[in-house]
Structures are given as structure tokens and as C-alpha cells.
């Protein structure tokens, strides 16, 4: 595999303000790379460096083995094409005329290769599915159609490297997908090297096998999505709380978390499991409660939620009955709390001891009493009796999260 | 959801001999007799004005096409960057200091040189170190223009009565001003510049996407902008040297040309040149016949025809090849 782009110790900047510091980066031919990073991290500047728009203050850039500074404008345009965020023209170009601008500059010594030019334009139109738009005015297209037309113009250059500067930031989710799928296809079928800057971490994780994360003009990390999109790294770079999770199909999801609610200082211990606590945990965290949770098995949906929210949790090994040690931890958490919440959790022999934790803590209990019998999977059918005992001892029953929050206000 | 509509060029080419023949046979003296010396002189005079009209109209319209493309602005015209006020000042100085009496070519030469010098100053003011940006060009053009116009007014106010009349006549424009060798030289310059611009048409197309987008498409933008500005200035300065300051042609004819063939700059310089030439020939015929035997300045006619025409174009600008 040969390198499409090599940056060696590249520095660049605007006047007195350096933007890129000592960037070294190699992009192999045929790769799909997303450049990520917060505003002002230097993503766009790095793209401008690669197209020769931004002069270097240090280091060197090689495109397909050739020094960028030695490339003539026409040679560069045959290697690299660029899709900016937005292209506007005051002229009433039709889509076909616009795409033909990709061949603005004569290709070789003999400028008369009109047939080749026409063929390149037709191919670009076909590839981007813009054939039926060819006679429409570019300025009258929708955002997604415009972006496809611009990509077609770039493809008419027949480049080996396509650079895109946040091409999807003006598009709705449907057209974003459309553009990214087009890039994926171009990469797969034509071996086109694709480098794109993006603010959308989720789409980048889904569509780009290689990521590069920039921060303050330096490379913070490069590699596969799982290596780059790490929670602590992202929090450091983006300066916000966020959670990295995988959904059921293994897709990486990066979710920013809301912060800033004033803490009440009151503690609540939540007994949940199997997803019954997801909403409760989130709502309580947002409301400013100090939340603890457990006991839960690792890998349980609620355990993942608790982890993402930074909730202290008593954790048991996956698929194991709750051991005495973990139950003791849960007991301590429950005793430290001002109130205990029991969610609409199914009980079996593995987790039923959590009800003992609630009973023994000696704190007010808010107990979900919805369809108790249906949720009872213990061999002796002991749950309804345990619930009754708790209620007799003064536990408040609730059925919906909104009721729970109202009850909790009273505790406060 | 309008689809593009473009017209072929041949009707325009066909119109050239028809319009010229019409203009040749129309005039205050009516249909002249070819067999008398007087008739031949009248025809020769009219032919000279027709040819001057074609050259000047082509020059102004071609320059307008380039300015509107480079500045990406529908209101741009050949004079916007100060060529007119510079050339006007040069011509006025030539009249004021009496150079015009010493040599036939003094006024056009002074206008040509000062027009080009003005644009050079504007360009380097705007460039200041790097390449000139569109806004930099417009801004420095407007400032330099304003200063020179006021200097021109100063000279007009100081000039003696007959000098003032000839300066005024020159400012309003007149196709009879040019001498024959000057017309030939000017014609060659205009033709050459238009041919080069046509060859650069594809790159001019790319430049209408903006400087950065054109750079990505492989255009050497700094060189192209400077080169095209130089060619446009040459066209405009030649036109001004031949016929004085004729307004509106460089503004409206490019719009008409785009409405005819679309925004492709591989065709636009040529098409605009033909339309511009025809327009001036028609306007001049009107100027010398409408209140015959009196003659009105051609600049007045182009403005009176051009104003309403431009308004109409603005009202249907979406189809006019320029979209806001």
C-alpha cells in the first residue's frame, strides 16, 4: 500500500497565530479517514494545507510521493479534489455545466481531449445520481442535491484523493447518510482515498474505519474508531461530559451528557435491573440527586446506564447470582442514602436479595408495585409477600416515573 | 423548477451585416448618392462610425463580462474599478494643457495611459502584499474613482469655455472622435484581447465559484485574476480612447449575452462583443438621426435605452443568467 498523504512535522498558521503545530500524519491510498476535533482544532486548516491554499510555516507535505510545493496547479487538481461546506456561484449554471467545471483546466499538453472530458463529466453525473438533475439550475437545487452536484464536480477532476470539509453540516440526517454512503461507494469501487472533516462523531464512527482526532492544532489520537473515541480522551478534547456506548448491534454511540444542575446533597439508592432503571437513573441524575445503584450484574443495561452517568454501583460478575460481598456493598450504599427507590424490575433467585437490602437499610422506600406477580420469577413465588412486607413497613408505592419524582420532592 | 434555455449564436452573426447595412443607409442626409463625391464622403463617414461602434461596443461589453465574472457581482462594469475616471482625467488634462491641439492622438493616448495606470494603482492598493481580494478591489476602486472624478471636476471648472465643451463632449462619448489609424490599432487590440479571454473562458467559469474553489479546480487564481483584469482594462481603455466615456454598454450587454447563451465564459466574450457592437451601432444611428440635423451624445442614448432594459432584466433576472 502506498501513501496518499504524508505530513511531516507540518506547522501552519494565519499571520502571527499558528494553527497547526508539528503535525505528522500518514494516510494510505484507498483509506477513508475522518478528521475530528472541536472548533478551532485545525481540521479545516489541515485540509487547506493539503490543497496548497495554506502555506506551511514548517515541515513538508507529500501527495502520492510528490512534494506538494513542487506540484503545478494542474497536476495538483488531478490528484486532489475538494468538496467545501458550501459552493455558491452568482452564475446560473445548470448542474451539467457546473460539473463540467471539474474540467476547467486543460489536462495535458494537448487541450483538445474534449471527448475524454465529456466522458468524465457523464461518469461523475452517473456516479452521484445527478443525471436527472443535469438541466436544472444549480442554485435551485435542495441542499442534498447541491452537495451531490459539487461532489460530481470534484469527481469530474478524476482525482485520487477527495477532501471534504464538513460536507454534511448543512444537511438533514437523511441527506447526510446519502452523502456518506456515496463516499463509501466511491472508496470501495474506485479506490478513492477520502478525507473528511466532521463534527458528527457518531457518523464518523459508523462510516470511517480510520479517524484522526485533532486538538489545539496537534494530533491527539489516530486509529480505528474504538481506539480514538475513548471517553476520557473525548472529554479532555471537547471539554464536556460525554458517554461512549455501543448499541445492541455494536455501533459506537457518543452521547453528550447534560451537566450543571445544582446538587441537592441528598442521596438516593436505586434498585433496578434489566433496563427498568434507565429512565429513573437519568432523571435522578439530572435532578441533581447523588445517586447510587445496585446490586447489578455487569453488562446489564442498567449497569451500563449507571456507568455512563457516573453513578456509584455495586457490581456483580456477569450472569452470576449476587454474592454476599456485593450485597454488603449495596447495603452500605443503601444505608448511606436518604431514600431508596425500587424500580419495576423482574426478580429471580439471582437478584431477589436486593429487596432484603431495601428492607434492612432502614430508610424510606419508594417501591414500584406495578404487576408484581408478573415480574416474579423466584422458585417459591416469594416476591409478592416481600413487597407486602415493605409496604406494611411504610414504603410508598409508585407506578410511573413522574409519580416517583413527585414523591421524591416530598423527601427533599 | 425551471430548466435551462440557451439560444444559438448564428442569429447574432446574421444580424451584424443587416444592422450595419441599415445603419449605413440611415442618416440626416438620407440615402446618399454613391456617384457623387459628397455621397461617398457621407457613406465613408457613416462606415467609420459603424466600425468604431462595433469596436467600442465589443470592447466595453467584453470588459463588462470579465469584471462581472471576476468580481462575482451583477452590478460590476468596466468602469467600476476606476478606468473611466482615470481615462476621463487623462483626456481632460490633455485638453486643458492644450496637448490636444498639438497632436491628433494626444487625447486618446492620454486617456488610454491614465486608464491603465489607474487600474494598476487600484490593483496594487488592493493587493498590498498578497493577492487582491474582491472586496479589496472594489473598495480601492471606489476610493480611487472618487478622488479622480473630483480632480476631473476641478479641471472642468478651471477650463476655458471651448475646452470645457470638448471635455464634456468627450465625457459623454462620441463615435466620431477616433482617427482612422487609431481605429485600426484599437480594433486589433480588442480582437486580440477577446480571443485570449475566450481561451481562458473555462478558467473564468471556475473563478465565478470563488477564488478558493477555482484554486481546487487547478486554476492559478492570482495569475488569472491579474491577467483577466489587465485584459479587461485594455479593452475598456481602448474603448474609452476611441470614443470617450460611453456608459451602460459594459453593464447591460453582459447580462443580455448571458440571457442568450448562458453563463459559459468560453462563449460570453464573443457573444457579448457582438451584442455590444450591434447595440452601439443602433444607438449611434439613433443619436445622429433622432433630432437631425442636430446630434445628441451617444452616451445619452445608451443610458435612455439601457436604463429601462436593465430594469426589465432585473425583474426577470432568474432567467437572465444571473441568480441572486
- Residue A264's pLDDT band (boundaries 50, 70, 90)? low
Candidate from A50-54, A163-167, A239-243, B154-158 with smallest mean pLDDT: A239-243
- Residue B2's pLDDT band (boundaries 50, 70, 90)? very low
Dist CA A120 CA A114 (whole Å) = 10
For the stretch A161-217, pLDDT in tens is: 999 999 888 888 888 888 899 999 999 999 999 999 999 898 899 999 999 999 999
- Out of B205, B215, B318, name the one closest to residue A101 (CB): B205
In-domain check, residue B34: no
> Would you call B208 and A91 a contact, using CB atoms and an 8 Å cutoff?
yes
How close does chain B come to A401, measured CA to CA in Å? 51
pLDDT at B3: 47
> Would you call A105 and B217 a contact, using CB atoms and an 8 Å cutoff?
yes
pLDDT, mean of residues B142-151: 91
On whether the CB atoms of residues B249 and B278 are closer than 8 A, the answer is no
- Residue B132's pLDDT band (boundaries 50, 70, 90)? low
pLDDT, mean of residues A41-61: 91
- Residue A255's pLDDT band (boundaries 50, 70, 90)? confident
Highest mean pLDDT, choosing among A111-115, A140-144, A252-256, B191-195: B191-195
User: What residues of B are in contact with residue A52 (Cβ under 8 Å)?
Assistant: 215
B→A contacts (Cβ < 8 Å), by residue, are 1-4, 69, 72-74, 202-203, 205-206, 208-210, 212-220, 258, 262-264, 318-324
> Would you call B209 and A101 a contact, using CB atoms and an 8 Å cutoff?
yes
Residue A342 has pLDDT above 90, yes or no: yes
Between A156 and B132, residue with greater pLDDT:
A156
Nearest CA in chain B to A87: B209
Which 3-state string (H, E, C) describes A292-320? EEEEEECCCHHHHHHHHHCCEEEEECCCC
Q: Which three cell numbers stand for residue A56?
A: 506551511
pTM: 0.78
CATH number listed for the domain at residues A267-408: 3.40.50.720
Say whether A196 sits in a helix, a strand or coil: strand
How close does chain B come to A32, measured CA to CA in Å? 20
Common-topology check for domains A3-256 and A267-408: yes
Which H or E run includes A98?
helix A95-100
pLDDT, mean of residues A113-135: 88
Is beta strand A242-246 parallel, antiparallel or unpaired with respect to A252-256?
A: antiparallel
In-domain check, residue B324: no
- Out of A51, A76, A89, name the one closest to residue B208 (CB): A89
pLDDT at B321: 52
- Out of B2, B213, B220, name the one closest to residue A73 (CB): B220
In-domain check, residue B66: yes
**What's the DSSP call for residue A91?**
B
> Would you call B202 and A103 a contact, using CB atoms and an 8 Å cutoff?
yes
- Residue A61's pLDDT band (boundaries 50, 70, 90)? very high
Residue A256 has pLDDT above 90, yes or no: no
For the stretch B155-198, pLDDT in tens is: 888 888 777 777 887 788 888 767 788 889 899 999 999 999 99
A→B contacts (Cβ < 8 Å), by residue, are 51-53, 73-74, 76-78, 80-82, 84, 87-94, 97, 101-105, 135-137, 139-140, 153-154, 157
Residue B105 has pLDDT above 80, yes or no: no
Dist CA B176 CA B56 (whole Å) = 12
> Would you call B262 and A94 a contact, using CB atoms and an 8 Å cutoff?
yes
Q: Which residues contact A358 (CB under 8 A, 6 or more apart)?
A: A271, A334, A340, A342, A365, A367, A390
pLDDT at B323: 46
Indicate which of B1, B201, B218, B321 best probes the interface with A, i.e. most A CBs within 10 Å of its own CB: B218
pLDDT, mean of residues A228-248: 84
In-domain check, residue B107: yes
The closest alpha carbon to A229, from A217, A211, A216, belongs to A211
pLDDT at B19: 93
pLDDT at B245: 87
Dist CA A157 CA A104 (whole Å) = 9
pLDDT at A263: 54
Q: Which three cell numbers stand for residue B217?
A: 479546480
In-domain check, residue B2: no
pLDDT at A23: 92
The closest alpha carbon to B252, from B297, B303, B207, belongs to B303
How close does chain B come to A101, measured CA to CA in Å? 6
pLDDT at A107: 65
Q: Which three cell numbers stand for residue B38?
A: 459628397
Residue A316 has pLDDT above 60, yes or no: yes
Domain assignments of chain A as residue spans, ordered by start: 3-256, 267-408
CA A343, A345, A346: angle at the middle one, nearest 5?
Answer: 160
Residue B318 has pLDDT above 80, yes or no: no
Which H or E run includes A76?
helix A73-79
> Would you call B218 and A93 a contact, using CB atoms and an 8 Å cutoff?
no
User: What residues of A are in contact with residue B216 (Cβ under 8 Å)?
Assistant: 51, 77, 80-82, 84, 154
CATH number listed for the domain at residues A3-256: 3.40.50.300
For the stretch A324-340, pLDDT in tens is: 899 999 999 999 998 99
Give me the helices (H) in chain B, please: 10-25, 37-71, 83-96, 99-102, 106-127, 134-158, 161-172, 180-199, 201-207, 211-216, 221-243, 249-261, 268-289, 298-315
Total number of domains constituting chain B: 1
* % helix, strand, coil for chain A, step of 5: 40, 25, 35
Paired strand residues for A312: A292
On whether the CB atoms of residues B318 and B2 are closer than 8 A, the answer is yes
Q: Is B27 left (phi over 0), alpha (psi -120 to 50) or beta?
A: left
State in Å, rounded, how far the first CA of chain A is from the last one.
64
> Would you call A97 and B262 a contact, using CB atoms and an 8 Å cutoff?
yes
Paired strand residues for A194: A32, A162
Is beta strand A267-271 parallel, antiparallel or unpaired with respect to A339-342?
A: parallel
Question: Locate cell 512535522: which residue?
Answer: A9
Mean pLDDT, chain B, integer = 86
pLDDT, mean of residues B140-147: 91
For the stretch B24-81, pLDDT in tens is: 988 877 787 788 888 888 888 899 999 999 999 999 999 999 999 998 888 888 888 8
For the stretch A63-89, pLDDT in tens is: 999 999 899 998 999 999 999 988 888
Q: Which residues contact B106 (CB under 8 A, 6 or more apart)?
A: B94, B99, B100
Dist CA B217 CA B234 (whole Å) = 27
pLDDT, mean of residues B142-158: 89
Mean pLDDT, chain A, integer = 88
Q: How many CB pairs under 8 A join A and B?
A: 104
For the stretch A384-405, pLDDT in tens is: 889 888 888 888 889 888 888 8
Nearest CA in chain B to A102: B217
- CATH at B109: 1.10.3470.10
Amino acid at each position: 500500500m502506498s501513501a496518499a498523504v504524508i505530513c511531516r512535522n507540518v506547522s501552519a498558521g494565519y499571520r502571527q497565530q499558528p494553527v497547526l503545530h508539528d503535525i505528522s500524519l500518514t494516510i494510505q491510498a484507498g483509506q477513508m479517514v475522518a478528521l475530528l476535533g472541536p472548533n478551532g482544532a485545525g481540521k479545516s486548516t489541515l485540509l487547506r494545507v493539503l490543497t496548497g491554499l495554506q502555506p506551511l510555516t514548517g515541515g513538508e507535505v507529500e501527495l502520492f510521493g510528490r512534494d506538494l510545493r513542487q506540484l503545478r496547479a494542474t497536476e495538483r487538481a488531478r490528484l486532489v479534489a475538494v468538496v467545501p461546506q458550501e459552493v455558491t456561484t452568482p452564475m446560473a449554471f445548470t448542474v451539467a455545466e457546473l460539473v463540467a467545471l471539474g474540467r476547467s483546466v486543460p489536462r495535458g499538453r494537448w487541450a483538445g481531449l474534449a471527448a475524454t472530458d465529456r466522458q468524465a463529466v457523464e461518469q461523475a453525473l452517473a456516479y452521484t445520481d445527478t443525471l436527472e438533475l443535469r438541466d436544472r439550475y444549480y442554485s435551485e437545487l435542495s441542499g442534498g442535491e447541491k452537495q451531490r452536484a459539487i461532489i460530481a464536480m470534484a469527481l469530474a477532476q478524476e482525482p485520487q484523493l477527495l477532501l471534504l470539509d464538513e460536507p454534511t453540516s448543512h444537511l438533514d440526517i437523511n441527506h447526510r447518510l446519502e452523502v456518506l454512503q456515496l463516499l463509501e461507494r466511491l472508496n470501495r469501487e474506485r479506490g478513492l482515498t477520502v478525507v473528511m472533516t466532521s463534527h458528527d462523531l457518531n457518523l464518523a464512527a459508523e462510516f470511517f474505519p480510520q479517524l484522526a482526532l485533532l486538538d489545539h492544532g496537534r494530533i491527539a489520537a489516530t486509529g480505528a474508531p474504538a481506539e480514538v473515541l475513548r471517553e476520557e480522551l473525548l472529554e479532555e478534547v471537547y471539554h464536556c461530559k460525554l458517554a461512549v456506548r455501543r448499541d445492541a448491534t455494536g455501533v459506537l454511540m457518543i452521547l453528550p451528557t447534560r451537566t450543571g444542575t445544582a446538587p441537592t446533597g441528598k442521596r438516593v439508592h436505586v434498585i433496578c435491573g434489566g433496563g427498568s432503571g434507565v429512565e429513573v437513573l437519568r432523571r435522578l441524575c439530572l435532578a441533581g440527586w447523588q445517586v447510587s445503584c445496585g446490586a447489578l450484574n455487569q453488562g446489564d443495561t442498567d449497569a451500563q446506564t449507571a456507568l455512563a452517568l457516573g453513578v456509584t454501583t455495586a457490581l456483580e460478575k456477569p450472569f452470576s447470582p449476587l454474592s454476599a460481598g456485593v450485597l454488603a456493598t449495596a447495603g452500605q450504599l443503601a444505608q448511606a442514602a436518604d431514600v431508596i427507590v425500587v424500580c419495576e424490575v423482574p426478580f429471580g433467585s439471582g437478584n431477589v436479595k436486593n429487596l432484603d437490602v431495601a428492607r434492612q437499610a432502614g430508610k424510606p422506600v419508594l417501591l414500584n408495585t406495578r404487576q408484581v406477580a408478573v415480574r416474579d420469577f423466584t422458585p417459591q413465588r416469594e416476591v409478592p409477600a416481600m413487597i407486602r412486607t415493605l409496604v406494611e413497613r411504610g414504603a410508598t408505592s409508585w407506578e410511573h416515573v413522574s409519580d416517583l419524582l413527585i414523591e421524591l420532592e416530598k423527601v427533599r | 423548477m425551471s430548466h435551462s434555455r440557451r439560444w444559438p449564436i448564428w442569429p447574432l452573426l446574421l444580424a451584424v451585416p443587416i444592422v450595419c447595412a441599415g445603419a449605413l443607409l440611415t442618416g440626416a442626409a438620407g440615402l446618399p448618392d454613391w456617384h457623387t463625391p459628397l455621397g461617398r464622403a457621407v457613406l465613408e463617414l457613416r462606415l467609420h462610425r459603424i466600425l468604431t461602434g462595433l469596436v467600442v461596443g465589443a470592447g466595453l461589453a467584453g470588459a463588462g463580462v470579465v469584471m462581472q465574472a471576476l468580481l462575482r457581482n451583477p452590478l460590476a462594469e468596466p468602469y467600476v474599478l476606476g478606468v473611466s475616471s482615470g481615462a476621463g482625467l487623462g483626456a481632460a488634462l490633455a485638453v486643458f494643457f492644450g496637448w490636444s491641439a498639438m497632436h491628433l492622438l494626444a487625447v486618446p493616448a492620454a486617456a488610454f495611459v491614465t486608464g491603465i495606470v489607474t487600474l494598476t494603482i487600484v490593483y496594487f492598493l488592493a493587493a498590498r502584499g498578497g493577492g487582491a481580494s474582491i472586496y479589496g478591489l472594489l473598495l480601492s476602486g471606489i476610493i480611487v474613482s472618487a478622488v479622480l472624478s473630483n480632480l476631473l471636476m476641478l479641471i472642468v471648472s478651471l477650463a476655458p469655455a471651448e475646452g470645457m465643451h470638448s471635455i464634456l463632449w468627450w465625457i459623454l462619448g462620441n463615435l466620431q472622435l477616433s482617427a482612422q489609424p487609431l481605429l485600426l490599432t484599437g480594433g486589433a487590440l480588442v480582437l486580440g484581447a477577446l480571443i485570449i479571454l475566450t481561451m481562458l473562458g473555462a478558467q473564468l467559469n471556475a473563478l465565478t465559484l470563488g477564488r478558493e474553489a477555482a484554486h481546487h479546480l487547478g486554476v492559478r487564481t492570482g495569475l488569472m485574476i491579474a491577467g483577466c483584469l489587465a485584459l479587461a482594462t485594455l479593452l475598456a481603455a481602448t474603448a474609452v480612447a476611441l470614443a470617450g466615456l460611453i456608459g451602460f454598454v459594459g453593464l447591460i450587454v453582459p447580462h443580455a449575452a448571458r440571457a442568450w447563451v448562458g453563463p459559459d465564459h468560453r462563449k460570453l466574450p464573443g457573444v457579448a462583443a457582438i451584442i455590444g457592437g450591434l447595440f452601439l451601432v443602433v444607438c449611434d444611428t439613433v443619436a445622429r438621426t433622432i433630432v437631425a440635423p442636430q446630434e445628441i451624445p451617444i452616451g445619452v442614448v445608451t443610458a435612455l435605452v439601457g436604463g429601462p432594459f436593465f430594469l426589465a432584466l432585473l425583474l426577470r433576472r432568474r432567467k437572465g443568467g444571473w441568480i441572486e
